[in-house]
Structure 1
């Protein structure tokens, strides 16, 4: 990432992402001038699902021929650049894997909880954040990596805050401040298990008591879900509000025996004693402790258990 100080920065954003994804993060600061669009941007749209305004971002380094948002909108609908499609996302129920935002809000209300602030990990163009703003006046910050498409730029021109942050980074929000953390497609079986465990416990760090973790279509092999990921998620000790599993029906899913999991999990206000006792170490210790106590006199038993 060589550059000339006090001159225009080289167009090396792809190299920067490659370095970030390989663990070189945060990248060092530089004393050069980044390229920006030649004209002032329009005001932020009142409707975040209006067509993405062109010439509001520098897209020269992306592979789409015309270097426009509309070019990406015409590639694959699931990329998130076609606002006609995005407008209905997260609002309708089609299968058990869906958790529409109105239902999510109602579930929170029914447990006397609120969703005011959230974090969307791997949120693409910011559609979940946009829908939460419209449906619940909630502020949701999106973390995203571009990976060959202008996800960060698209989220920004829609009025969403996009944090350019990799999954291996400590979540850039303070402890116990989030009401909701959503993990989208970016969180899946391709993440090493140890790294995923650290990610989930970092999510626990930023969630307040009573807050929610939403795993939205997490995919893995069916056997791994039962043996690896369900126990890993269980370590958090969260309440299962929703737990839905279905086959992943695309070619890769059929070939590898993959399934989707959508789960809504609520963090307890305090760590339950029943969860602590479920720890194998604690359970073994308590069994031995009470076995020892019951061999003693009644007075010794009361003293042993701390009651006198």
Structure 2
């Protein structure tokens, strides 16, 4: 990026940075120009996200109160992959006093600023980056709607195994409204998830529809899976 040191950064610096991040150029080099102050404060998260995370409209939904009941242990620290404006982080902080890290990419909308404006933690990073979290630290990892069939299969498998790396024994992996073609669910994604050898707590599949009915032969999957606990061994 060309810029004049000690002056404002070019107006397209954020969009340029994100295009590089999406191509694996991360972390970006340091710079000596001033970022634009276009901090956006939001009074609330998108209503649809809050509604879906508080009450179930279909079998695919997993409201936070139900999540807390299903969890075999308290949720204290979590990661929300592609968490948008931070609705899950906000609710888990309010209902469980949990700390949730939210990965975001702005891509035309100030998601990172929306998360930060609520006193939450945005991680500005793409899906293909290794999670900047220590091994075995998290009680919950949620893969939201940003995680879907458009991700190349090898990249998705790396993502799932990195989620396994950061989850503590007995932690939860929540795949929320993952969508793919029907045949790919049985032929590709179910075996991929099965390689983790997790216990299934919830597994719900429904057709992906729009105003014209079933769309492109796709389905939604919502799954809540538990990482196996560490088995005690005799010394």
Give the TM-score of the pair, scaled to structure 2: 0.92
Q: Tell me how far apart the structure 1 counterparts of residues 164 and 117 of structure 2 sit (CA, whole Å).
A: 30
SS at match of 1:133: helix
Alignment check: 8 A CA contact 2:208 2:215 kept: no
Q: Which has the higher helix share?
A: 1
Q: Which runs of 5+ in 1 are unaligned?
A: 38-56, 59-67, 71-79, 272-308
Cα displacement (A) at 1:260:
0.3
Name the larger-Rg structure.
Answer: 1
Is it true that 1:230 corresponds to 2:230 in the alignment? no
Q: Tell me how far apart the structure 2 counterparts of residues 226 and 131 of structure 1 sit (CA, whole Å).
A: 33
SS at match of 1:236: coil
Alignment check: 8 A CA contact 1:185 1:216 kept: yes
Quote the residue 1:75 is aligned against: none
Quote the residue 1:199 is aligned against: 159
Quote the residue 2:139 is aligned against: 179
Cα displacement (A) at 1:105:
0.7
Quote the residue 1:4 is aligned against: 4
Alignment RMSD (CA, Å): 2.1
Call closer, same or farther: CA 1:123–1:252 in 2, change over 3 Å.
farther
Quote the residue 2:29 is aligned against: 28
Call closer, same or farther: CA 1:228–1:143 in 2, change over 3 Å.
same
Is it true that 1:124 corresponds to 2:84 in the alignment? yes
Alignment check: 8 A CA contact 1:89 1:127 kept: no
Cα displacement (A) at 1:19:
1.2
Is it true that 1:16 corresponds to 2:11 in the alignment? no
Cα displacement (A) at 1:33:
1.7
Quote the residue 1:275 is aligned against: none
Q: Which runs of 5+ in 2 are unaligned?
A: none
Give the TM-score of the pair, scaled to structure 1: 0.71
SS at match of 1:130: helix
Is it true that 1:161 corresponds to 2:162 in the alignment? no
Within 5 A, what are the aligned runs for 1:2-81?
2-11=2-11, 12-36=13-37, 57=39, 81=45
Quote the residue 2:130 is aligned against: 170
Q: 1:104 aligns with which of 67, 71, 75?
A: 67
Q: 1:88 aligns with which of 41, 51, 58?
A: 51
Quote the residue 2:169 is aligned against: 209
Cα displacement (A) at 1:148:
0.8
Call closer, same or farther: CA 1:134–1:146 in 2, change over 3 Å.
same
Q: 2:227 aligns with which of 243, 259, 267?
A: 267
Figure out how many residues of one structure are paired with residues of the other and give that number.
Answer: 231
Q: Tell me how far apart the structure 1 counterparts of residues 154 and 112 of structure 2 sit (CA, whole Å).
A: 28
Work out which structure has the larger RCO, using CA pairs closer than 8 Å and 6 or more positions apart in sequence.
Answer: 2
Cα displacement (A) at 1:4:
1.5
Q: Tell me how far apart the structure 2 counterparts of residues 86 and 212 of structure 1 sit (CA, whole Å).
A: 21
Q: 1:136 aligns with which of 96, 109, 124?
A: 96
